[in-house]
């Protein structure tokens, strides 16, 4: 049997790092150490925050480092539309049209519907499920642009996340860049407020959660590491610099265990400087391994005593 050298080295590194975890490490300390092992095996920078909405407990690494949002902002964009529709400040079922000039890269829905147009709700669903970039741009223009998106986050108490540009320019986020960025700690809590808080009425919240569960782009990322029987939904993002040297693979969402574990939200970002083909496999593998950490963190003895819903 032939063993891929990259996978062998990654596995060997993980085993070696695992042996270095002190046996007397606290449960949360061990989970953080396991995340460091995943980061080392991936040969990149891994930012993770796993947040228990019932206890307020969390675990992660590089939680306060900034990472490019890429397409993960589209989850919040869909939530913003549904919030304004519920408040009767915009009609999500209003039909809009667009032209060939609007069709930037990755337009699986908008290219197919260019002749007939679509409702804003359909655009939100397409942006969430298929990550359609023109759909997101059209929605942004109807919701106050990047400034409107940033204002929505501020209204939720998120003073970190920010959107500054449209697709596809927002994906060009070198490491020192502040534009179009968030942190794992900020985004995990923003997802918690959207999915488990009072940001949306029950009908709209259920609709958005349904879209997240339907989104299959995350099936090879965090959700791939969750055990059978868990309910989870997410929004992924993938971006590379114009010079092609740095890539970010991201995944944000929620997870609920079959025995009442959680509910939890997560925000994960993996950044590496490699060729696209190589880092895609390693990025997805790193995020899938985070899914296994989510399951461990959800076990009662890992977290804090339940004190009631936080959101």
20 CB contacts (<8 Å, ≥6 apart)? none
Summarised one tens digit per residue, pLDDT across range 83-134 is: 999 999 999 999 999 999 999 999 999 999 999 999 999 999 999 999 999 9
Give the residue among 77, 120, 102, 83 at the shortest CA–CA distance from 237.
77
User: Does residue 8 lie in a domain region?
Assistant: no
> Which positions are annotated as active-site residues?
71, 167
User: Does residue 97 lie in a domain region?
Assistant: yes
User: Does residue 5 lie in a domain region?
Assistant: no
User: Does residue 135 lie in a domain region?
Assistant: yes
Read off the pLDDT of each residue in 29-40 and give the average, rounded to a whole number: 95
User: Does residue 95 lie in a domain region?
Assistant: yes
- The residue range of the domain holding 282 is 25-302
Confidence of residue 175 (pLDDT cuts 50, 70, 90): confident
Whole-angstrom distance, CA of residue 38 vs CA of residue 29: 14
pLDDT at 293: 95
DSSP per residue over 31-48, as a string?
Answer: HHHHHHHHHHHHTSEEEE
Read off the pLDDT of each residue in 186-199 and give the average, rounded to a whole number: 98
Distances from the Cα of 258 to the Cα of 186, 222, 307, angstroms: 27, 17, 20
Whether the bond between 168 and the residue before it is cis, its omega within 30 degrees of 0, is: yes
26 close to 301: Cβ distance less than 8 angstroms = no
Whole-angstrom distance, CA of residue 272 vs CA of residue 291: 19
Number of domains in the chain: 1
pLDDT at 247: 85
Residue 1, pLDDT > 70, answer: no
Q: Return the CATH number at 31.
A: 3.40.710.10
User: Does residue 146 lie in a domain region?
Assistant: yes
pLDDT at 299: 79
Confidence of residue 176 (pLDDT cuts 50, 70, 90): confident
pLDDT at 117: 98
1 CB contacts (<8 Å, ≥6 apart)? none
Distance of alpha carbon 139 from the chain centroid? 19
Summarised one tens digit per residue, pLDDT across range 43-53 is: 899 999 999 99
Whole-angstrom distance, CA of residue 221 vs CA of residue 124: 22
How much is the CA Rg of the chain, to the nearest whole Å?
A: 19
pLDDT at 277: 58
Summarised one tens digit per residue, pLDDT across range 10-30 is: 443 343 444 455 555 788 999
User: Does residue 17 lie in a domain region?
Assistant: no
Tell me the sheet residues that pair with 49: 60, 267
User: Does residue 55 lie in a domain region?
Assistant: yes
Whole-angstrom distance, CA of residue 11 vs CA of residue 39: 12
Exposed/middle/buried for residue 1 (C-beta within 10 Å: 0-12, 13-18, 19+): exposed
pLDDT at 7: 37
Give the residue among 102, 248, 254, 111 at the shortest CA–CA distance from 170.
248
């Amino acid at each position: 049997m032939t063993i891929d050298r990259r996978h062998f080295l990654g596995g060997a590194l993980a085993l070696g790092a695992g042996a270095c975890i002190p046996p007397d490490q606290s449960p949360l300390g061990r989970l953080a150490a396991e995340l460091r092992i995943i980061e080392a095996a991936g040969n990149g920078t891994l930012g993770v925050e796993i947040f228990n909405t019932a206890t307020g407990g969390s675990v992660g690494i590089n939680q306060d480092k900034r990472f490019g949002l890429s397409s993960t902002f589209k989850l919040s964009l869909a939530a913003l539309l549904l919030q304004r529709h519920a408040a009767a400040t915009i009609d999500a079922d209003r039909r809009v049209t667009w032209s060939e000039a609007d069709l930037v890269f990755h337009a699986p829905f908008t290219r197919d519907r260019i002749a007939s147009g679509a409702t804003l709700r359909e655009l939100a669903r397409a942006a969430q499920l298929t990550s359609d970039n023109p759909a997101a741009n059209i929605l942004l223009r109807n919701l106050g642009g990047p400034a409107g998106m940033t204002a929505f986050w501020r209204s939720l108490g998120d003073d970190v996340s920010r959107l500054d540009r449209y697709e596809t320019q927002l994906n060009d986020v070198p490491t020192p860049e502040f534009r179009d960025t968030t942190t794992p700690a900020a985004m995990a809590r923003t997802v918690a407020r959207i999915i488990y808080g009072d940001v949306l009425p029950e009908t709209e919240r259920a609709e958005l959660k349904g879209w997240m569960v339907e989104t299959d782009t995350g099936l090879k990322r965090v959700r791939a590491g969750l055990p059978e029987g868990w309910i989870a939904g997410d929004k992924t993002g993938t971006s590379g610099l114009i010079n092609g040297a740095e890539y970010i693979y991201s995944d944000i969402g929620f997870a609920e265990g079959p025995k009442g574990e959680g509910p939890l939200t997560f925000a994960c970002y993996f950044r590496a400087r490699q060729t696209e083909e190589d880092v895609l496999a390693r990025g997805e593998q790193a995020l899938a391994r985070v899914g296994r950490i989510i399951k461990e963190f959800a076990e009662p003895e890992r977290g804090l005593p339940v004190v009631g819903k936080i959101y």
